[in-house]
Amino acid sequence: MALELIGKLIKTLPVQSGTSARGTWSKQDFIIETQEQYPRMVCMTAWGGQMNELSAVAEGDVLKISFDIESREFNERWYTNVKAWRIEKQQAGTATAASPVQTVPGTVPPPSSPPPTEEPLDASQQEVDDLPF
């Protein structure tokens, strides 16, 4: 399942590396803020060549990220990874708050109703505020 997300790069975390049975590996996590009515923070991971793409952008840049989501079980606990496989810097004005974002099946998008508006009260409906602050 391949998904895409457009968001602002908030922070790039330090590179992590190690050795496994298949050899050495390195990865770098980064935080994206979505550009929706109700923005969300998402921690994603770049591996190998995608770390080069990540190093070519700066915090505050708007990015389009193609990624996969995968979960695995270990000792009866589940761990989910959001693995970026393409990171593209967006040109100024390309991404807007209304950019379509593909959501994961089974999730509920935030409500899109406008905030309630208050109508002014007439003199008979106004509350008396006698608090000193």
DSSP 31: E
Burial of 46 (0-12, 13-18, 19+ CB in 10 A): buried
Q: Cα separation of 114 and 37, whole Å?
A: 10
User: pLDDT tens-digit profile of 5-37?
Assistant: 999 999 999 999 998 888 888 999 999 999 889
| Measured distance between the N- and C-terminal CA atoms of the chain, rounded to whole angstroms | 55
In the chain, the domains with their CATH numbers are: 3-89 (2.40.50.140)
The model's pTM is: 0.65
In this prediction, residue 98 has a pLDDT band, given cuts at 50, 70 and 90, of very low
Predicted local confidence at residue 1, as pLDDT: 57
Q: 101 in helix, strand or coil?
A: coil
In this prediction, residue 69 has a pLDDT band, given cuts at 50, 70 and 90, of very high
- Closest to 63 (Cα-Cα) out of 50, 74, 81: 50
